Structure formats: structure tokens, C-alpha cells
Chains A and B, each alone.
Chain A
């Protein structure tokens, strides 16, 4: 009786071990499937490599800013379209500010609405009013339908990448897209992994 119960006990232990092994492999499969994560490029109105429209707009500080101009410093300029009523925007703004510092990107926030609310938003996240533009024209020119939406402009004034950004990974995918020249996740999957960086996980989808 003892022998049988001991044998059964080991059988259960080994069975559980096999289940854990299969689950571990399944995690690997899921990991492979979800690996290419990137910002969702909406509508396809903006094209990678096309010149970014340059629009004169007023910043919250009252200064005149040329939105869409190539960066004066850093490797790229990023327009981040946000709205005060959008909770995801409030999550992404501090992430984008830190991201811009790390990646040496010139960040410009763009809104469209009540200047008072945007001023409050800028104060809340410590954004300099000169780096926050409130203009309906910019959003329309870049055909932004949903926020938070980011457009990355390179030093030549061309659009490197763009897309709906909800996480740090989405922001990173814009830089990856700029570095690799792969504009979409489809292109990434068709042409293979990017060569310039070790992280094949991010590419702009669209």
C-alpha cells in the first residue's frame, strides 16, 4: 500500500513538473507572438519620409513657435498631441518628458482647446509654457484623430515615425522606426529584424 501511494505521489509530482514545463514553453510562444509592440499609426495620412508641415502657432507663454520645424538641438523633434480630458495623456506626458531627456529628443506638446486647462496641465507636469502649443490648426494639419498621438521629425524636417502612443514602449518604437527605417510592423515582419539596434521588439505598426 505504501509503495503504491509513494509511486502515485511521484507520478503526480512528475505530471505537475511536465505541466509547468509546458506552461513555460507556452509563455515563450506568447512572448514571441507579442514581441513586436509599437505605436499604432492611424489612417496612414502621414507618411514616413514625407516633409513635416511647418505651422506657425502660439505657445502658452505667448511666444511664436514654428511647429514641425527640424530640431534646433537633439537628434529629433517630437510633437506630442494631448488633451486635458484624456487620462492616458496624463500618464504619457511625464513618461514622454523623461524619454525626451534620455533619447535627446526635442519635445513639443500640442493641444487644441481651452488655454486655461492646458496651462493647468503644463503646470501639473512642469512643462515650460514655451514648449506647449495650443492650436487647432496643427492637429488638423497632422490629421490627429486620437490622443495621445506622437509625430517624430528628424533633423532634415522629415517625418520619421508617428503613431498613437500609450506606453514607453510605443514612444521607443518611434525611435526604433527612425533608426531602422522600418515604418510599420508589417514591414518589420516581412523584411526581418532591424540591424542597427539589439531590440527587435519595437516598430511602428500601421
Chain B
């Protein structure tokens, strides 16, 4: 794999650390809701939901710490990419089953987010960004690269939230208004 620029590398670390950190925090706060969301996917045998929910939260917290601190960075990035890919596959299976009305368990919005191919695409984009952490970097970053990396990472996170707000707004608008032909 060719080496990546420090700016991109740092931006990916910021995005991954904040996304997984907030995700772990939200899931831990509403453990029952997260457990119910996992159950809703109907991919696991009964009784395993609680254990899997706790394992996912622990993995998310470890990823966030790893990406933020740089400790076991390669391993953290690898687990993050695998976890996101696993979520994307779980969503895709349920979409193919036609079960779009379940909560994805991946949203911080009240009431959750219904399944859709957009979520698979979203996971794909985050995987692409985090995959850059699996590539090597040469030397140590300069001060400008550090500033650019952190700034770009925060900007991407903001863009991610803004897109989420507008998508949610569009969905509510569509639900609230019948389309006349």
C-alpha cells in the first residue's frame, strides 16, 4: 500500500475517534435501546443480544481510544473497518429481506433511523476514509499538516452531521406531505 499524507491520516484519525467515541457513549447510555436494535436485525440467536451489544460498545470505545492516542493504531483501524463492514452487511441483509422499518441502531437521533441503502453507502464512505489508516506514513507530521489534519477531520465530522440533519428533514417533509400525482 502506498504511503499516505499525514494530513489525510490525521483527518481520518480525528473522524474515526470522534465517531466511534460518540457512538460508544450513545450506545452505553441507552443500552436497552441498542440491545433492542440488535435484536431487530434478526441475525443472532436469542440470548446473545446483550453480550453482543456490550462487545460492540467495548470495541467502539477501544477504537476511539486507539485512534485518539495512537496506541495500537493499526489494530484499532483494522477493527474499525471490520466493524463498519459488518454493520453494512447486516443492514444489507435486512434490506434484501425487505425489513426497512427497523431501527438501524446507528443513529443518535431520537426515535432512531430506518434502514436504507444510504446507510450502506455511508458506511462505505467511512470505511474508505478509515482504510487510509491501514496505509503507512513516512516520517513525522509537520505543524501545518497537524493543523490541516485536525481541521479537515473536524470539518468532515461537521459535514457528516449537517448531511444527517438535512436528510432527516427531507424524510420528515416527505412523510408529512402526501405526493399528489
Contact = CB atoms under 8 A, between A and B. Distances in A.
Is B a genuine binding partner of A?
Answer: yes
Interface of A: 2-3, 6-7, 9-11, 13-14, 17-18, 20-21, 24-25, 27-28, 31, 35, 99, 102, 168-169, 172, 197-201
A10 B181 contact: no
Interface of B: 143-144, 147-148, 150-152, 154-155, 158-159, 161-162, 165-166, 168-169, 172-173, 175-178, 180-181
Given A24-B162, A31-B169, A6 B175 contact: no
Main secondary structure of the interface of A (DSSP, over half): helix
Contacts, number: 68
B58 to A, nearest CB: 30
A25 B181 CA distance: 30
A102 B180 contact: yes
Nearest to A98: B180
Nearest to B151: A10
Main secondary structure of the interface of B (DSSP, over half): helix
B165 A24 contact: yes
Nearest to B178: A199
B172 A3 contact: no
29 contacts: A2-B144, A3-B143, A3-B144, A6-B144, A6-B151, A7-B151, A9-B151, A10-B147, A10-B148, A10-B150, A10-B151, A13-B151, A13-B155, A14-B151, A17-B155, A17-B158, A24-B162, A25-B165, A27-B169, A28-B165, A28-B168, A31-B169, A31-B176, A99-B180, A168-B180, A197-B178, A199-B175, A200-B176, A201-B176
Contact of B172 (A6, A28, A168): A28
Nearest to B142: A3
Nearest to A17: B158
Contacts of B144: 2-3, 6
